[in-house]
Chain A
Amino acid sequence: EAQVTQNPRYLITVTGKKLTVTCSQNMNHEYMSWYRQDPGLGLRQIYYSMNVEVTDKGDVPEGYKVSRKEKRNFPLILESPSPNQTSLYFCASSFEGRGTDTQYFGPGTRLTVL
């Protein structure tokens, strides 16, 4: 089954404790990205990657890191999480990264930073 998977689905952590949220897709997509969803703000892009070893900032990159060492994986790293990073996070992928492409979203990771 074609899908985007994220782990963990739920995470409660404390300020300053480094964490990684994994994202993997099995559709051989070139483009991957991370969004965060907050009430009243909709979804905002954090980082995106057009291909392996190519990443770039989205609208809200502060406090986050990403890497793209393999085509299928695009982990999101929070080196020192803070309470304002409490949010619902979605990973997404698309075939070639064109503006007309359909994006496929993972099920989401709900992060709480205490």
Chain B
Amino acid sequence: GNSVTQMEGPVTLSEEAFLTINCTYTATGYPSLFWYVQYPGEGLQLLLKATKADDKGSNKGFEATYRKETTSFHLEKGSVQVSDSAVYFCALSFSGYSTLTFGKGTMLLVSP
């Protein structure tokens, strides 16, 4: 079946540090890939997405590139802020229906 694997957290960084959260997937075919973010006490919200190979999704300084050859969708940000502290979920879905398969989530903690 389909699955998503993310690096375990928490990831702890100082403000302005570089962030990478690794995400790899196993799927039959070519899914759409997503990063969702969950701030404390809130629901999930879309951070960025890519719907085909080599697409780059970007938003709020975060980026991720859909790499078919390595089945990866790593999340990066050049300079994190305290306000980026949250749980980040990598997910995939297939055309035809919206069911998301999520990774287990990675908590990011950014200190001043």
Q: How large is the interface on B (under 10, 10 to 19, 20 to 34, 35 or more residues)?
A: 20 to 34
- The answer to whether B97 touches A50, judged by C-beta atoms less than 8 angstroms apart, is yes
- The answer to whether A107 touches B98, judged by C-beta atoms less than 8 angstroms apart, is no
Query: Which secondary structure dominates chain B's binding surface?
Result: loop
- The answer to whether B95 touches A100, judged by C-beta atoms less than 8 angstroms apart, is yes
- The answer to whether A31 touches B44, judged by C-beta atoms less than 8 angstroms apart, is no
- The answer to whether A98 touches B89, judged by C-beta atoms less than 8 angstroms apart, is no
Q: A99-B32, A100-B95 are in contact. Are A42 and B102 (CB under 8 A)?
A: yes
Interface residues of A (CB under 8 A from B): 4, 31, 33, 35, 40-45, 48, 50, 58, 90, 92, 94, 97-108
Q: Can you list 9 A-B contacts with CB-CB less than 8 angstroms, sorted by A residue number?
A: A31-B97, A33-B99, A40-B104, A98-B97, A98-B98, A99-B94, A99-B97, A100-B32, A103-B44
